[in-house]
A and B are shown apart, each in its own frame.
Chain A
Amino acid sequence: MIFFWAAVGLYVCSSLAYVSGFIFRKERLPALGGIFAALAFAAHTSAIALRWAVVGHPPVMWNYENAVAGSWLIMLFFLILVWRYRRMAAIGVACVPIALLMMGYGITSVPELEPLNVTHQSVWLYVHVIFAWFAYSSYVIAFGLSVLFLVREKREATGFYRRLPDLNALDLLSYRFVAFGFVMDAVMIAAGAIWANMVWGSYWSWDPIETWSLVSWLIYALYLHLRASMGWRGRRAAWLAVFALSGVIISFWGVNYIASSVHMLKLQ
């Protein structure tokens, strides 16, 4: 847990640096935020690797492991994006706090070291969960890019804002991340249906978690159709990508508090 808390501490520093940099328009602070984020990612990776070595399975079970692994993938996408397009580093102002919140949510669940329960001993678990991480991480990056778009749109490309990427690049990249997440999400839902049929004998039971993940997938389908059929780009697409993340938040976090789900059951 030392590495976990080190990662949390460094993510806090990174978030503070990013947010302060934007509020007070200090160019060096976002750069410092990036350094903290990279260090936090290293600690985060160590935490996951150590847990994996101790429990003997990848972090795929229950809320704690999924929150830690999902936030790790968000940061991986973020760091790859920054390495590829340096000017995208500013999306850290949205992505790093989200990763931090996810880790915070994870720690509120029981982080006990648990072997894989018999219900979870299936290759479909890995397919389902890994594609879920890819999908939700892509959506979070798209959210970050959209937030940056909305911030950048209202400002001249001078001073602090000259370092930010141009609006067309932000819009196009956001669309691509949504599209990628949409494909990953579809695979996640398909794999979940196949696995559910093997375990529960029913490919779809309108379970709350199943249904909310379908709702979030449909919201992104709406995004793609609005872009294609009605030419929604720029600000409208950005607002929709920001709103669409709420569906993901509900299906990942909110539904656990408002409904019982077969996802939470395991054979004892």
Chain B
Amino acid sequence: MKKFRDTLHVIYRFFSSGRTAVVLIAVLTATVALGQIIPQNKCLDQIALMSFLRKHDYTYFIIRLLRLNNIYVSWVFILPLCLLFLNLVFCMGNRMKAMLEAGKDLGFRDYFFGGQRLSKWGSLVFHASFFVILAGVLASRLTRFEGTMILVEGQTLRERHEDYLSTSEAPLFRENHSLFHIRLNHVENEYNKGSLVKLTCDMTVEDGGRVEHRTVGVNRPLVYGNTAFLVHLFDFSPYIVIRDRRGEIVFQSHVNLVTEYGKREDRFAVPNTDLVIFARLFPDAVFTAGGLKTVSPEPKNPALQFRAVRMSKDGMFGKTLYEGHIFLKKSKSFDNYVLSFEDFRYWVKFNVRKDAGVPCIFAGLWIGTAGLALRFVAGMMLKESGSAV
């Protein structure tokens, strides 16, 4: 029993030591930095990651074994973080106990403002904020929903699983969709010196009988209930009609292309045929010696540059049936088909988020900042010197 108590005492002393905090902060800092040196699975530069994998396959085997390729969710990061929180609990407990005991006989003013107490209260508030942030992060991890939804101008979708392009759901989310209707009415944008300076989406939310109009922008997400729609990407959606020789419609639809004003080529397959269309949309097109170019990002004279390719039975790209361009309201014939570019609209890709933890995290950030301001700024203004953190 005595040995057990001695062991507990050693553990208590270890975790309530400021030196332990120093060591754990150093370890955590090194771990966080390591995650920026070792290529991570979710890094933006996937090409660099693949190149590293090819050149250092044995090294990467070791990295993967130690879970260093996903360091921020591995034991390497989480263990020192947990130990640091434990250290925080013990240190704060001791500090609170000491302050309460020392303040027993003090009046109200001296209790908070006397001696170095203001900076110590500030330090306590700052460190306590980490627990608020932690609560928020845990709530976020367990209940967060992320989804992407694409809307073309004039299109209405519902806030339900089926209408998302992709989703990522935390374990406790449990399909908690709100089922309201959301419609993208119109997109307006403005450019200045080639830079997008205005982007607004006129949207409507219909929930039961309730209808609300919202203007949504990049820094102005649409927040309805616990759901936030954030503008992520937009591009053109030409309305393409393909007819066969008899004049029967084979395909008619808006096609959400990602062509970045003609810089990139996108493609779509024509259902029930062996056709694949590769396309670029030039919003303000002019035909030059070097080919089709766009003069501005505004849709003043849209043109579609396309290649119609036949797919073979084994899924390989075969003969190119046609290569050329077509302006708005015009048609082009090739092989057994006639392709018409009849209309175009904008499409907008929204990132959709439901995260119950975010308000808690932000509250923690502000509490922490207030604590820091109290600890250092107020404390120094009262000419405290050499006081403990």
Contact = CB atoms under 8 A, between A and B. Distances in A.
Given A122-B219, A190-B368, A267 B231 contact: yes
Interface in B252-273: 260
Interface in B177-194: 192-193
Given A218-B28, A259-B43, A117 B219 contact: no
Contact of A229 (B19, B32, B72, B362): B19
A201 interface: yes
A221 B25 contact: yes
Interface size classification for chain A = 35 or more
Scoring B29, B353, B358, B388 by chain A CB atoms within 10 A of each residue's CB, the highest score goes to: B29
A179 B218 contact: no
B292 interface: no
A198 B35 CA distance: 25
A187 B146 CA distance: 27
A215 B231 contact: no
A118 B218 contact: yes
A176 B380 CA distance: 8
14 contacts: A115-B193, A118-B219, A183-B369, A190-B365, A208-B36, A212-B33, A215-B32, A219-B29, A224-B389, A225-B22, A228-B389, A259-B36, A261-B44, A268-B260
Given A215-B36, A230-B22, 12 more contacts: A114-B193, A118-B197, A121-B219, A186-B372, A206-B42, A211-B33, A214-B32, A218-B25, A225-B25, A225-B389, A230-B18, A260-B44
Nearest to B73: A206
B361 to A, nearest CB: 6
Interface in B228-250: 228, 230-231, 233-234
A157 interface: no
Contacts of B48: 260
A200 interface: yes
A206 B18 contact: no
B51 interface: no
Interface string A90-121: 00000000000000000000000111111101
Interface string A109-140: 00001111111011010000000000000000
- How large, as a class, is the contact surface on chain B? 35 or more
B369 A229 contact: no
Given A119-B218, A186-B372, A190-B366, A201 B233 contact: no
B257 to A, nearest CB: 15
A226 interface: yes
Contacts of B361: 193, 203
Interface of A: 113-119, 121-122, 124, 172, 176, 179-180, 182-183, 186-187, 190, 193-195, 197-203, 206-208, 211-212, 214-215, 218-219, 221-222, 224-230, 255, 259-262, 266-268
A198 to B, nearest CB: 6
B372 A183 contact: yes
A29 B255 CA distance: 70
A211 B22 contact: no
Contact of A201 (B17, B44, B351, B385): B351
B162 interface: no
B192 to A, nearest CB: 5
Interface in B15-51: 17-19, 21-22, 25-26, 28-29, 32-33, 35-36, 40, 42-45, 48
A180 B19 CA distance: 23
A206 B35 contact: yes
